[in-house]
Structure 1
C-alpha cells in the first residue's frame, strides 16, 4: 500500500510519475477515515485543502507531493493552535510557524494537526478537548507524549512523517513507544518561531522543533528542509547540508 512506503519511496515514485500527489493524498485520507477515530491522533484534518493542493502540486521541491502532519503546537495561518488547552479555544494563527512554512515551501502537503497534552506538559497524550490518543500497536497502551498524536499518526500510516517538538523527551519518547524514528536536534538548528508556548528564550533553550518519520533516511530528508537560520528566531543558526558520503557506511563488530 502507498501509505506503507517511506517518504523516500514516495518521492521516488512521484518523481518517476508512477503515482500522483492526488493518489498519495487520497490514500492517506482513506486511511484516516478507516482508523482515525480508533487512534484519535488528529485535532483537525485538512481534507479539502490537502486535495486541492495535491491537484495543483508541481515542482521538484524535496518534499513535493508528500503528505505530512504537524503537532498542534505549531501555528498554521488561519487555523487554531489549541495546544490541548480550552484556554486557547477561538484562537486563530495570523501566520505560520517558520518550520511549517519550510515544509510547505519544499512542496509538502499538510494533512492536518495532531494531538498533544495541554501545553505539552505530560508524557501521555490526553487533554479535555480532543481526548486520549491511542497507541496504534495496542489501543490499550499509551502512545507517549507530548508529540504522541504525531507519533501515532505516523506509526499508524495516517501520515508519512511530520513535525514535533521536544524539551525533555517529547519527540523521542512517543517515537520509541510507537516504533518510529524521531530526532531532537541541537538547539538552534531548526527555528522555533511560531511554537506554542514559545521555546526560544534563555530559560527554554532545551526545547526544540524536530522531525518524526518511519525511517532514519526520512528524518534526514526532513531535517535538511527544516534546518537553518531564521530572523524571527535569534537563537537559530545557519545550516548547510553536508555532501553525500563517498562510500557506503559499514558496520564493524569488535
Structure 2
C-alpha cells in the first residue's frame, strides 16, 4: 500500500468517495507506513494505532450526507497546536504529558471537515529552532538522508508527510517554520496571511508581535492539497482580534496572469548554492511559459525587514519565554539553550526599543508594500542551502561563510511583512536533496500565492524519498 499513502491527498479523497478504498483500509495503510518508517524518522510525538483504527471504523459507518470535505483523510497536527486528547507538549520536558481538553479552532474545523487525525508531530522545544530535536522525544530525521534534519520548527510534520506517513497536516510559522521544512523534505506548504487560518489555540499563543509574525499553515505533498486545506480551514474566528473577515477569492487563469512577478536569486548579502539559483530560474521560466510577466526585481527593504524580525522574534521571543523557563532551566533541551544563547548576545530589549520596533514594523510594511505595487508577486529562494546535517551550523558558499540563522533569512522577511508565502519543490542538490522555491505576495493575496505556486508545482511535481516508496 506504499503507493496509496504517497498519492496526493485530493486523490486519496477521490478514492474514498468512489468507495475504491474504505477509511479503515486507508488508515491501515498509513499505520503500516508509520510502523515501518517512524522508528527511523521519529516524526511523531503522539501516535496510537488502535485509536486510529477505532476512529476509522466509526467514520466508515457515517451516512454519506454527514461526511465533510476531508472525510477519512489521514492527517497530522504539529504538537504546538491544541488537539484534544493528544499530547501537545511543545517539545518540552516542562510540558511533558500535557493533553489539551479543547481543540484549537483550526483543529475543530479539521475534525468538522471529517479528517482522521493520526497523531501529533514532533517539534523543537518551544519552536525556536530550524531543526527538530528535544530532550522529550529526541531527534526527527529526514527521509532523504537520515543524517540530515527535516527542518524546524514543523519538522515532524514535514518528515511525516514526505514519507507518506500522513496525507497532509498543520504546522505553524513565525520565521519560516512551515516553509524551511517543506524545502528540506521536498513537499509544499503555505504560511498564510496571519488570521486567515485562525491561530487561536496555538501553543504558545500568537500574541503581541507574534500576531503579525506567526500563522498556522497547511503542509502537504502538492499545492492542490495545500489549497484544499486552506480553503477548507480558513475563515474568520470572531473571537480572535487578529482574524479578519476575508472571503475566499477565485482567480481565473487570465486574472492570475495580471500579477507581475519579480524574481531574485539572492538578497545581495547572503549567497545561495548554484543549484538554488538554478531552481529559481527554472520556476521563473515555467511562469513565463504560462504567460506571466516575470522580471528581475528585489525589494530594497529586505535587510530592514530581517533586522526587525530578529528584534521581534529572537530578542522579544526570548523575553516572552523567560517566565516559562524560570525555575526549570535544568530541563531545557540543548537546541533551546542554543536559541537563548543567541538571543542573549543581542541583549534584552528596553521598553522603548520594543515600542519603537513595533511601530517600525508598521512603517516598514507600508514601505515594502508600496515597492511591491509593480511586482505584487515575488519568487525567490527558501534558504541558502538544502537540508543540513544534524547540528551543522555554517557553510561555505562562493568562498563566503554562511551561518545558521543567516542561511534561512529568505523566509523571515515575509513574517515581518505579515504576507502569505508558499514553498514548492523544484530541484535537487548534487547529493540528491530537495530544493524548493518560495512564492510570496501582498497580505491577504493568499489565493494568488496558491495559484502561482500551483502552476510551478504542476510543472515539477512531488518526488518521494526512496525509503518512503520501499516496501
1:218 pairs with 2:257: no
The alpha-carbon deviation at position 238 of structure 1 amounts to: 2.5
Larger displacement relative to structure 2 (74-83 or 3-12): 74-83
Selected match of 2:119 from 89, 92, 112:
112
Name 2:69's counterpart in structure 1.
62
Contact 1:115/1:147, CA 8 A, preserved across alignment:
yes
Selected match of 2:149 from 132, 142, 146:
142
The alpha-carbon deviation at position 62 of structure 1 amounts to: 0.9
1:30 pairs with 2:32: yes
- Alignment RMSD (CA, Å): 1.8
The alpha-carbon deviation at position 92 of structure 1 amounts to: 2.6
What is the DSSP-based 3-state SS (H/G/I as helix, E as strand, rest coil) of the residue aligned with 2:146? Answer: strand
Contact 1:193/1:200, CA 8 A, preserved across alignment:
no
Deviations 1:154-181 (CA, angstroms, capped at 9, x unpaired): 0011000100000100000000000000
Shift of the 253–67 alpha-carbon distance from structure 1 to 2, 3 Å rule, reads same
Name 1:197's counterpart in structure 2.
204
What is the DSSP-based 3-state SS (H/G/I as helix, E as strand, rest coil) of the residue aligned with 1:209? Answer: strand
Selected match of 2:13 from 11, 16, 25:
11
The alpha-carbon deviation at position 233 of structure 1 amounts to: 1.7
Shift of the 244–10 alpha-carbon distance from structure 1 to 2, 3 Å rule, reads farther
The CA distance in 2 between the partners of 1:44 and 1:80, in whole Å, is: 6
1:238 pairs with 2:245: yes
1:52 pairs with 2:51: no
Contact 2:142/2:185, CA 8 A, preserved across alignment:
yes
Greater share of residues in helix = 2
Count of residues in correspondence between the two structures:
254
Name 1:82's counterpart in structure 2.
89
The alpha-carbon deviation at position 225 of structure 1 amounts to: 1.4
Deviations 1:84-113 (CA, angstroms, capped at 9, x unpaired): 001112423121111111111000000010
The CA distance in 2 between the partners of 1:223 and 1:81, in whole Å, is: 22
Q: TM-score, normalised by structure 2?
A: 0.52
What is the DSSP-based 3-state SS (H/G/I as helix, E as strand, rest coil) of the residue aligned with 1:164? Answer: strand
The alpha-carbon deviation at position 201 of structure 1 amounts to: 3.1
The alpha-carbon deviation at position 243 of structure 1 amounts to: 4.1
Unmatched 5+ stretches in structure 2: 258-288, 294-471
Contact 1:6/1:214, CA 8 A, preserved across alignment:
yes
Deviations 1:198-229 (CA, angstroms, capped at 9, x unpaired): 11334542110000000000000000111111
Name 2:272's counterpart in structure 1.
none
Contact 2:46/2:86, CA 8 A, preserved across alignment:
no
Name 2:305's counterpart in structure 1.
none
**Which is greater in Rg?**
2
Unmatched 5+ stretches in structure 1: none
Larger displacement relative to structure 2 (231-240 or 28-37): 231-240
Deviations 1:138-167 (CA, angstroms, capped at 9, x unpaired): 101111100000000000110001000001
The alpha-carbon deviation at position 239 of structure 1 amounts to: 3.8
Q: How does 1:163-178 map to 2 (within 5 A)?
A: 163-178=170-185
Deviations 1:4-56 (CA, angstroms, capped at 9, x unpaired): 11011011111111111111100000000100110000011132222122112
